Amino acid sequence: MKTAIVTGANSGIGFVTARELLKDGYRVLCLSRNMRKLDAAVQNLATQTGSKECLAIRCDLASFKSIRNAVQSVKDCTDEIHLHINNAGLILSERQITEDSHEATFQINHLGPFLLTQSLLPLIEKAAGASGDCSRIINVSSIAHKAGLKNFWDFKAEKSYKQFDVYGRSKLANILYAKALATRLDPAICTANALHPGVIKSAFGADGDTKGLFAWGVKLMPKLPNFISGLMTVEQGAETTLYVARSEEGSQVTGQYFKNSRIAKPKTLGDEAIERFYHYSLTCSGAPEIPASFSSH
């Protein structure tokens, strides 16, 4: 049985992604910070799919300590990861600093997933060797990454805090990380890609955001009829993630950005900047480097 990790699986497109992977026969490890919601989601997933192969693991991406604990919990459950999906993310109306001294949106949307993924690379490598098929790493980014080009290197948002620019910066980071992995990992062992899921009718932006007009607006949006909001359903939003996870193309290309289940061209940075950013992420998160046996070099 293949094993998949899905972060933020307690709601939205993460829940739908986990549900469909369970139907595909995967064992799914669902990671989220809110155990009350996650336990309820796992029970719901079991009811909807009839599968008992769904496990809840607490992982607060705003805490490197919590992430390291989650890595150990994953290792206690399995020694192989065939599919790793960094789905969890948020947008905050006000600047916050984590216990690790990083701007919260940047840590939760990038540095946390970066540490989680790097720490689990040995398990991802082992899965490919055991099955004969390549493993896959998928970063759920956003078309909002285009806003991240402005003041990209201001990762602590010290110059200014504009929520969509800060969010865009973190989503651009998801794309750059996939590209950095693609230059390092043997594509016969693992592919790494990013994607835009669409503009989804869910309250993901309200997660952790409890005050102000922005939070009120985010919570209201999912309640509007589709013809007014113009938003995609969570099922539609999960389609591109599932395409990259399931399709032959998802195992053949690496370092790409998908939109509407097709390769698209993102706004990005040059190779030198991507390398600089990758090493910056290593330093900030304390993440381990890629195992030499996994390298494409």
Share of the chain above pLDDT 90, in %: 82
pLDDT recorded at residue 294: 77
pLDDT band at 210, cuts 50/70/90?
very low
pLDDT band at 293, cuts 50/70/90?
confident
pLDDT recorded at residue 227: 45
pLDDT recorded at residue 129: 72
Residue 201 has pLDDT above 90, yes or no: no
At residue 115, what is the residue type?
L
pLDDT tens digits, residue range 230-287? 578 999 999 999 999 999 999 999 999 999 999 999 999 999 999 999 999 999 999 9
Domain at 3-290, CATH homologous superfamily:
NAD(P)-binding Rossmann-like Domain (3.40.50.720)
Catalytic residue among 167, 177, 257, 278: 167
pLDDT tens digits, residue range 11-26? 999 999 999 999 999 9
Evaluate whether 195 touches 290 at the Cβ level (below 8 Å). no
Known catalytic residue at 243 = no
pLDDT recorded at residue 221: 46
In the beta sheet, which residues pair with residue 85? Answer: 6, 138
- Whole-model pTM? 0.91
φ, ψ for residue 171, nearest 5 deg: -75, -35
Structural domain boundaries of the chain? 3-290
At residue 205, what is the residue type?
G
Residue 182 has pLDDT above 80, yes or no: yes
pLDDT tens digits, residue range 149-175? 999 999 999 999 999 999 999 999 999
In the beta sheet, which residues pair with residue 138? Answer: 85, 193
In order, the DSSP letters of 239-275 are HHHHHHHHSSHHHH--S-EEETTEEE------HHHHH
Distance of CA 231 to the CA centre of its chain: 21
φ, ψ for residue 92, nearest 5 deg: -120, 140
Residue 236: how many CB atoms within 10 A of its CB? 16
pLDDT recorded at residue 216: 44
Of 48-57, 94-103, 221-230, 268-277, which gets the smallest average pLDDT? 221-230
Residue among 258, 146, 107, 93 at smallest CA distance from 191? 258
